Amino acid sequence: MKHLIAITIACVLLVGMVGCTATQKGAIGGATLGGLAGGILGHNSGGKTAEGAAIGAGVGALLGGAGGYYVDKQTDKARDEGYEAAKRETQSTGSTSTGSSTSVYKSDYK
């Protein structure tokens, strides 16, 4: 029964990550997986399941959050570079007499 409760809690946490940033997803996922792994290791090495789960969850949250933070920063950097490239392209093509810029999307040119 304890295993079923633990698996249910892990599933609820993983489903709860919908709509989170990569940092938040990494921290939640890392804590969940770290807690499960720590609980198993703690149980197998002297019956200290709770202590192992707590340590595993803490370490997993830190490592998962750090990995997610890195992904968030890379995503932000790529988005900013794309924005700047589109801005340069728009400025190089000129603008119409009404002041609106021409399209920079390939799908607009058929």
The whole-model pTM stands at 0.60
Q: Check whether 70 has a pLDDT greater than 90.
A: yes
Q: Give me the amino acid identity at 42.
A: G
Q: Give me the amino acid identity at 66.
A: A
* Average model confidence (pLDDT) across the chain: 81
pLDDT for the residue numbered 103: 58
CA angle 66, 51, 69 (to 5 degrees): 5
pLDDT for the residue numbered 106: 56
Q: How confident is the model at residue 101 (pLDDT cuts 50, 70, 90)?
A: low
Residues 6+ positions from 101 with CB-CB distance below 8 Å: 90, 91, 93, 95
Whether 89 and 95 have beta carbons less than 8 Å apart is answered as no
